[in-house]
Amino acid sequence: MKKILITIITIIFMINGITYPKVLADDIDEEYEEIGEEDLKETVETASNSSELQINSRNVAVFDRTSKQVIYGKNENKKTAMASTTKIMTSIIVLENANLKDEVEISASAAGIGGSRLGLKKGDKISVLNLLYGLMLRSGNDAAYALAEYIGGSKEGFAELMNKKAEELNLKNTHFVTPHGLDDPEHYTTATELAMLTDYALENKTFAEIVNTKTCTIYINGNPRTINNTNELLGNLYGVNGVKTGFTNNAGRCLVTSVNRDNWNIITVVLGADTKKIRTTDSINLIEYTYKNYSRVNIEEMLNKEFNNWKNINQKMISINKCKNNNLELELEFNGTKIRAIKNTQIDNIEFEINVLSRLEAPVEKGRVIGNIIIKNGDEVLDIAEVKNKYEIEKKGVEDYLKIFLNELVNGDIIKENWPSI
């Protein structure tokens, strides 16, 4: 029925000499995809039992929220279009700069925006909070434009706020031009930085609640309307609690997914999938593969154990020349990543290379770095910890040497055969 209707509309346009408008951004009907239970079960089972990842999308990343690091990637640092995943940043700018109860009147510009829409008309009145739900669930470009005008005064003014925030978050390979994600050569990000942005956004409780909503009722001009989330994995795959779909001709099919299983949070980013099926399959593959083939390892605990074992044997062997009191006590300072997601097959490859000076010259000040421990996973350096002197060690003075001499004299340690007989 839908295809027949589109054909009729196209014919009417052609008869009247009008070119049928080309959709350049998310189309809501094209964007949403119900997952069949059997298809989902089969995809999850295949992914869980696979020892290798088969990924067809052009740019992907798996981001561990505990360590704040990408643990798997494919072209993860390559600049690319991001489509409606842009709206993650749009939401954050709104949440940090607006009163959610404020009422917004929709302009002609916002009402006329193309692509996926909430269906707003010029003069409609709707709260900021309801616009956010329309933005993130329905992927409304009209909602995005209305929020941009309300917060930034214009699309350009809002883009300035977006780019300022990107700079604050150290997203060096991300740049925004629009609030909705329509294709533009100057509008881009990377899979890694989109994951970093999403990680930041999820710290906002309102954002996390919105993107974890499958269905809700919003109000436009006081009238209720029920909308559904375009995220095909939400409510269908164990642990998924957001975040955002996307599609443009240039960006391809995109999906950013947040997952929490057994208090282990990850974010997967899939950009540049050729079809919805590939986008969905790649996302599921990344999620299932990660939870089966990676484990969280307490690096700090392993480090402390290695250091204490080494210290018990080697600390007393360190000599300190000219010291007043040899009260050497080594301590460890580690400011690196305490818990890491490590591939199960690589956990046994974690090594601790301990390098500490074997000879010191007094004085040795408190807190002086006298060595380090290099933490490696095979040839990869994961982190470096510092070995420090815990207490101040003073240098001997003239009085100290005199006391030693007199003590030796009293105890007969001076060579006695050279003394005169009585």
Does 67 participate in catalysis according to the annotation? Answer: no
Residue at 44: amino acid letter: V
Catalytic residue, chosen from 67, 84, 258, 283, is 84
Does 87 participate in catalysis according to the annotation? Answer: yes
Distance of CA 325 to the CA centre of its chain: 49
Strand partners, 318: none
Q: Are 199 and 268 in contact (CB under 8 A)?
A: no
Strand partners, 45: none
Q: Are 132 and 210 in contact (CB under 8 A)?
A: yes
Token pair for residue 15?
Answer: 């008869």
Task: Find, among 197, 191, 198, 377, the residue nearest to 295 by Cα.
Answer: 377
Catalytic residue, chosen from 67, 91, 116, 139, is 139
Residue 101 neighbours by CB distance under 10 Å: 8
What is the β-pairing status of strands 252-261 and 264-273? antiparallel
What CA dihedral angle connects 245, 249, 251 and 257, to 10 degrees? 10
CA angle 215, 216, 221 (to 5 degrees): 145
Secondary-structure percent of the chain, ordered helix, strand, coil, rounded to 5? 40, 25, 35
Does 395 participate in catalysis according to the annotation? Answer: no
Catalytic residue, chosen from 57, 74, 87, 258, is 87
Hey, which residues are catalytic here? 84, 87, 139
